[in-house]
Structure 1
Amino acid sequence: MSIQEYVDSIQQSLNKMIQTSESLSEEVIRWKPSEAEWSILQILSHINEAIPYWLGEIIKIIETPGTTWGRGLQDQARLSAVANPDELSVKVILDSLKEQKDHISAVLNTLTEEQLTIESPHINFAKFGNKPVSFIVDHFIDEHLKGHYGQIHRNLSKLKK
């Protein structure tokens, strides 16, 4: 995909998440389908933390090609974003996600198509190896948002049962 196609796809996913969430009551947004599953608010908070993280990794690679990128599932910032849902504000998270759209556009639109091909190693080289910047945009931002949008709908389908 081109940079503009990525920007459009990512922003479309964010718009869907925001519009869906804004139509829900706070009670529904905070509802957890099970102890092992995240509430919609936790999903939104996770996305709100993940977008700037991955954009930062892209910037780091562009500035210093060959530098390692990525994090593990036990990353403290990642875990903290979903750890205390009772302390999260629905309005603050939704407002921040709206601002993320501009941040995404600002970072990705500074890239060239050539920069999308710059390869660097993941910190867990055995799992991902050397990957181009486009892999991060595609897998860790675009697909990631689409997957969590699906998760929001799975939560809602469980609520209706």
Structure 2
Amino acid sequence: MASQNIAKSIASIQQSIDHILETTKNLPEETIRCNPTEDEWSILQILSHIAEAIPYWLGEVQTVVAMPGSKWGRGLQDPARLAAVTDTERLSVDDVKKHVEELKDEVESVLGNLDEETLSIESPHRNFIKFGNKPISYIVDHFIDEHISGHYGQIKRNLSKM
């Protein structure tokens, strides 16, 4: 059974996904594909990034649970991260949205049975000494929950510029 804290994190992540999907539900495809500026991601790039990033971070949680003390994390130049936001013209908006919707079940499946003891397991970030050893709860809270919430804010900012 999930602890109260992880249950709140799961609910928050799923709520952010719901907000993202509701916000993008009736948008024209040209709006979803439009980059507000040359340096900003389109909504489709954001959705594609979410569809890649959340499974990545869930996998990092699973690795640390299976091998406490193992290194976790990646840098901004990670090839899979970059591929998710490159050449998005070829992506189907509906398929990407469906993938994002399916993340709600994946989040529940991976995080739902973690208890406080498991969430407190600490491991080092592979690239950044500044993080030091962090508990699994940090990965969940910062790299999944806050991350997806931040991208919801990014989508709203994109829309405000159009």
Structure 1 segments unaligned to the other structure (5+ residues): none
Supply the RMSD in Å over aligned alpha carbons: 0.9
Percentage of pairs with the same residue: 59
2:148 equivalent to 1:145: yes
**TM alignment of 1:22-61, pairs within 5 A:** 22-61=25-64
Distance 2:66 2:149 in 1: 28
SS at match of 2:85: helix
SS at match of 1:69: coil
**Amino acid of the structure 2 residue aligned with 1:124:** N
2:101 equivalent to 1:110: no
1:78-112 deviations in Å (ceiling 9; x for gaps)? 00000112111100000011111000000101211
Which 4+ runs in 1 deviate beyond 3 A?
none
Distance 1:125 1:31 in 2: 33
**Amino acid of the structure 1 residue aligned with 2:129:** A
1:34-66 deviations in Å (ceiling 9; x for gaps)? 111000000000000000000000000000000
Distance 2:111 2:26 in 1: 29
SS at match of 1:114: helix
Structure 2 segments unaligned to the other structure (5+ residues): none
**Amino acid of the structure 1 residue aligned with 2:27:** L
Match of residue 15 from structure 1: 18
Match of residue 87 from structure 2: 84
Q: CA deviation at 1:158?
A: 0.4
Distance 2:158 2:147 in 1: 17
Q: CA deviation at 1:21?
A: 0.8
Match of residue 126 from structure 1: 129
Distance 1:16 1:125 in 2: 31
